[in-house]
A and B are shown apart, each in its own frame.
Chain A
Amino acid sequence: MSKSNRVLPGFRITMAFTLLYLGLIVIVPLTTLPVESITMGWTAFHRTLTDPRVVASYKLSLGASFVAAIVNGVFGVLVAWVLVRYPFPGRRVIDALIDLPFALPTAVAGITLTTLYAPNGWLGAPLARHGLKVSFTPLGVTVALIFIGLPFVVRTLQPVIEELDLQVEEAATSLGANRWHITTRIILPYLYPAWITGFALSFARAVGEYGSVVFISGNMPMRTEIAPLLIITKLLQYDYAGATTIAFGLLVISFVLLLAINGLQHWTGRRLAH
């Protein structure tokens, strides 16, 4: 690709349209958040963000998202590895199914998981008999976030595992390394950047999630109230300033995560390129 491409037309018009559309649909609407937060003044802003209930909701949103991302990280490696490396009947169907949480509307996921894990549900009943409550506990929030974050680690790792150079493994084997050594010394370090990216994607997606969590969480202040729900609750109480401030905080977290992810993808791309 040439640096200044004068042969191809349409740069100005497509660029102008892109910026206009981006500005109208995304940038202008999102600037309402910092602007409205600033107009309420620093003390009110600070007080809202340090309110124990708000802090608890951030902690839950971040904490449950982190745990969910870890679970997805562990099982995601396994699933991606199995899907790429091991032939077994039905592999293609399973592979297509991985994206279900992405394609299924979150509200459907929400009512389904709640029904499934309620004390009288298919999975909730046997768990309840062992004293494990899922629906309406932080555990339920985590389960919903595992569901929605599931595709991310698998999908970022799959192409990387496919690109793994078998000759390296072969060479290592002929030099006498066993599978365990190859896995821990060669394969896992190679997958690491992509794994981190997948983990971060799964985490970022979970932090803002609303539809699938709101049914299963139980909405207890200080305990199972996620940050997006608290935004809605504030809104329902005519507390616009509060809602906007919490939303702004969440927006900053999302943006930082996004920058980190794009940086990570850059890194992964470089690692793959050499």
Chain B
Amino acid sequence: MAGYVSAHRQGSATLPRRRLTEPALVRWTLIGIALAFLALFLAVPLVMVFSEAFAKGVDAYWAALEDPDALSAIRLTLFVAAIAVPSNLIFGISAGWAIAKFRFPGRNLLITLIDLPFAVSPVISGLVFVLLFGRRGWFGPWLFDHDIKIVFAVPGIVLATIFVSFPFIAREIIPVMEASGTEEEEAARVLGASGLQTFFRVTLPNIKWGLLYGVILCNARAMGEFGAVSVVSGHVRGRTNTMPLHVEILYNEYNFQAAFAVASVLALLALVTLVAKAVIERRLARSLAAHDETAAPESA
């Protein structure tokens, strides 16, 4: 299901000739309706985040970001993403290799299970970790005796974040690995390359854009998660508040402008994600096309 965000080959379709399209009036009416809908649901909210963030001027904006609690929230968010994204990256590559390069029974079920965190309500993603590691959870008493903190501390936040951002990299890599086939790797092996050499010299160059694409999606989800993290955080200021949670706290403190200031940083992050996504999409389409061209004569 997470595969929905799969890169599409943007603009690769040739535009139809004149007689195969609607009259200009119909065309522009449809464009108008589509743009009005998108403006109402996408552009206006985006503009409002920044307008509210700067409602009290630039200095108030910076003051909100330089607040120690805001800084610690930014730090925690970066820290959590710095663990969650590489973990899911390793998993994604491993799952991609096993699923895309080999056939085995239960393959479709495995893919569905990888998708599961995407469909599960974020609240549930947090709840299950409380049920496991909370003081009254399955492992709670043992953890308490050994003085190990998981929920209401950073490890719990990391776990919940890994859970919600789990499918993205794997689901991006699988189709790209499938598309590049196994012939090149097999050739490398026959020529005497080791397994790791094959992976780094042959596979990785083929999947690098898909990989990067998955990393960006995974990172966006990891930094922005609210529901799951909210359940396991404990909301200790300066210690277990991530940026989205800090936004909520400020919002509840009559501090709208500051809430939107921190929110604007997250919105900026979202915009950077979109730009990176668009750029990579184009590279990905190009590299796949190039691969098709070089692959075609070989297989013939």
Contacts and interface: CB of A to CB of B under 8 A. Distances in A.
State yes or no: do A and B come from one complex: yes
Interface of A: 1-5, 7-11, 14-15, 17-18, 21-22, 25-30, 32-33, 36, 75, 78-79, 81-88, 92, 94-113, 115-116, 122-123, 146-147, 150-152, 155-156, 158-159, 161-164, 166, 169-170, 173, 179, 198, 201, 204-205, 207-211, 215, 227-229, 231-232, 235, 240, 243-244, 247, 250-251, 254-255, 257-259, 261-262, 265
B172 interface: no
Given A208-B124, A258-B112, A14 B95 contact: yes
Interface band, chain B: 35 or more
Contacts of B159: 25
A15 B274 contact: no
B244 A107 contact: yes
A30 B120 contact: yes
Q: How would you classify the secondary structure of chain B's contact residues: helix, strand, loop or mixed?
A: helix
Interface of B: 1, 3-5, 8-16, 19-22, 26-27, 30-31, 33-35, 37-38, 40-46, 48-49, 52, 90-91, 94-95, 97-99, 101-104, 108, 110-117, 119-124, 127-132, 136-138, 159, 162-163, 166, 178, 181-182, 185-186, 189-190, 195, 198-199, 217, 220, 223-227, 230-231, 243-245, 247-248, 251, 256, 259-260, 263, 266-267, 269-271, 273-275, 277-278
A244 B132 CA distance: 12
A240 B140 CA distance: 15
Contacts of B48: 112, 115-116, 122
A3 B90 CA distance: 25
Given A211-B122, A257-B119, A258-B115, 13 more contacts: A1-B101, A7-B186, A8-B186, A8-B189, A26-B166, A85-B15, A112-B263, A122-B44, A151-B5, A204-B119, A211-B244, A231-B123, A247-B123
B9 A104 contact: no
Give the interface centre of B35, B38, B119, B130 by most chain A CB atoms within 10 Å. Answer: B119
A247 B129 CA distance: 13
Q: Which of B20, B21, B185 has most chain A Cβ within 10 Å?
A: B20
Contacts of B277: 96, 99, 103
A254 B112 CA distance: 12
A159 B9 contact: yes
A210 B38 contact: no
Given A10-B195, A169-B16, A262-B111, A99 B5 contact: yes
B129 to A, nearest CB: 6
Contact of B251 (A111, A163, A166, A261): A111
A85 B16 contact: yes
B145 to A, nearest CB: 20
B45 A112 contact: yes
A88 B128 contact: no
A21 B91 contact: yes
Given A8-B102, A261-B1, A210 B121 contact: yes
B102 A5 contact: yes
Contacts of A18: 91, 94-95, 98-99, 110
B10 A173 contact: no
Contact of A33 (B97, B124, B244, B278): B124
Contacts of B26: 179
B231 A232 contact: yes
Given A30-B116, A87-B15, A179-B22, A10 B49 contact: no
A88 B29 CA distance: 12
A262 B5 contact: no
